[in-house]
Amino acid sequence: MKAVITVTGKDTVGIIAKVSTICAEKGANILEITQSVLSEYFAMIMLADINDLKVPFSDFVDELAQIGKNAGLDIHAMHEDIFNTMHHI
């Protein structure tokens, strides 16, 4: 099972570090990262394996959202199936 984590917001130091720390703590294995900075606006998409997650996925979602809120970022973790079903036949 994989999750897509998206992070958007104003670019600041240590965004990737913050998100990857949570992932490591909770047992989500980061498989892929793409990121871009467009005129101070930061957008990152992470694909993470969540098979060995130590907490329920919904708690993981909440925790990331909270970290985002504290840092003025928009962070969402969503099950990859929503993207697969919408874009692949």
Among 16, 45, 55, 71, binds another protein (CB under 8 A): 45
Is residue 63 a contact residue for another protein (CB under 8 A)? no
Residue 34 binds to another protein (criterion: CB under 8 A): yes
Q: With binding defined as CB under 8 A, does residue 70 bind another protein?
A: no
Tokens of 88: 């692949």
Q: Beta-carbon neighbour count of residue 36 at 10 Å?
A: 9
Angle at 72 between CA 59 and CA 7, to 5 degrees: 60
User: What residues line the site for another protein (CB under 8 A)?
Assistant: 4, 6, 34, 43, 45, 47, 57-58, 61, 76-87
